[in-house]
Amino acid sequence: MDIASIAFSALYQFGDAFAFLVLSACGLAVIFGMMGVINLAHGEFIMCGAYVTASTVHAGLPLPLGILCGAAASALAGVVVELLVIRQLYERPLDTIVATWGLSLIATQGTLILVGSTMAGVGTPFGSFQVGQYSYSIYRIVLFTAALGVLGGLYALFNWTRFGVLARATIQVPHMAAALGVDTRLIYSLTFACGAGLAGLAGGLYAPTMTLVPTMGSTFIMEAFVTVVIGGADVFLGTAPAGGVLAVVKSAMTSWQGQLFGQIGLLIAVIIVVRILPKGISGFVLRERA
């Protein structure tokens, strides 16, 4: 076994862990990191994306279109949830925990009752390739690329577009933004939908690789929250380095001692980072250290 193939395998595992952390977290980074809404129904937005993706693919759509449908459906669900529930609770962050938890229970149980206990998978596209003694799934590389694409897209959206500027202004000082003529309700709504849509996108991207069941969202939620918590408030400067740090710890620990230690390592890393950098990595980068 030569050095190059060992290096590639380590890189692949890092990329795989990174993609999972970033894709599961980026929707939450917008909703929780930016807007401060503790969204416990995040996993169910992911599940919604995955289910819609699988259904549309079963109906005959090609997978990339199916994934976009999944993301769009979650975004739409996000608009409805924001309008009916979250909008009433922006001043009461603790109550949003209860409300979104309730939503997540309703969504999980509702899906179980309406769609049944499982859904047929769609199969992972693209096949595999060989490096050294290991074979790898090509789709995992697609996931890593998608994670980088989503991060780049978010950076561009919130820094270079008018919507991004308005969204940041609205969330930082809502009444000032309102005084300047910004429709803050609309901006909140759109930002929430953007976060929900990103969650749906993650669900759609992972749908071909996973079991499709009503509880599938719960397998993302821990990774999503820890990434956002140590990332801090900035979507790009927080989520990207947080995903990087945690992916290194997780993939190294998992390859050394197995999945259990991967999870333990992940959580210890989170505790250490939160202890040293209470405002998260983005807080440190932006010199907001408490």
Partner 1 sequence: MTGNIVRGLRAAALTGTLVLGPGAAFAADPIKLGVLEDQSGDFAAATIGKVHAIQLAADEINKAGGIDGRQIELVTYDTQSDNTRYQEFMRRVLQRDKVDVVFAGFSSASREAYRPIVDQFNGFAFYNNQYEGGVCDGHMIVTGAVPEQQFSTLIPYMMQTYGKKVYTLAADYNFGQISAEWVRKIVKENGGEMVGEEFIPLGVSQFSQSIQNIQKAKPDFVVTLLVGTAQASYYEQAASANVNLPMASSVNVGQGYEHKRFKPPSLKDMYVTTNYIEEIDSPGSKAFYAKFKAKFPNEPYVNQEAENSYLAVYLYKQMVERAKSTKRDDIRKVIAMGDVCMDAPEGKVCIDPKSQHMSHTIYLAKVGADHSISFPKTWEDIKPYWLGEAGCDLTKKDPMSQYTPSNPPPKS
The answer to whether 18 contacts partner 1 (rule: CB under 8 A) is no
The answer to whether 104 contacts partner 1 (rule: CB under 8 A) is no
Among 28, 71, 213, 281, binds partner 1 (CB under 8 A): 213
Whole-number Å distance between alpha carbons of 27 and 45 = 9
Least spacing, CB of residue 43 vs partner 1, in Å: 12
Least spacing, CB of residue 121 vs partner 1, in Å: 5
Among 72, 90, 124, 174, binds partner 1 (CB under 8 A): 124
Among 36, 102, 126, 180, binds partner 1 (CB under 8 A): 126
> Exposed/middle/buried for 175, CB within 10 Å: 0-12, 13-18, 19+?
exposed
Among 32, 14, 23, CA closest to 245: 14
Least spacing, CB of residue 134 vs partner 1, in Å: 5
Q: What is the dihedral of CA 49, 192, 236, 146, to 10 degrees?
A: 20
Q: Which C-beta is closer to partner 1: that of 142 or that of 178?
A: 142
The answer to whether 12 contacts partner 1 (rule: CB under 8 A) is yes
Among 288, 5, 45, 286, CA closest to 132: 5
131-to-9, 100, 139 alpha-carbon distances in Å:
8, 44, 15
Whole-number Å distance between alpha carbons of 222 and 42 = 10
Least spacing, CB of residue 115 vs partner 1, in Å: 11
Contact residues for partner 1 (CB under 8 A)? 9, 12-13, 16-17, 20, 108-109, 112, 116-124, 126-128, 130, 133-140, 208-216, 218-219, 251, 254-255, 258-260, 262-263
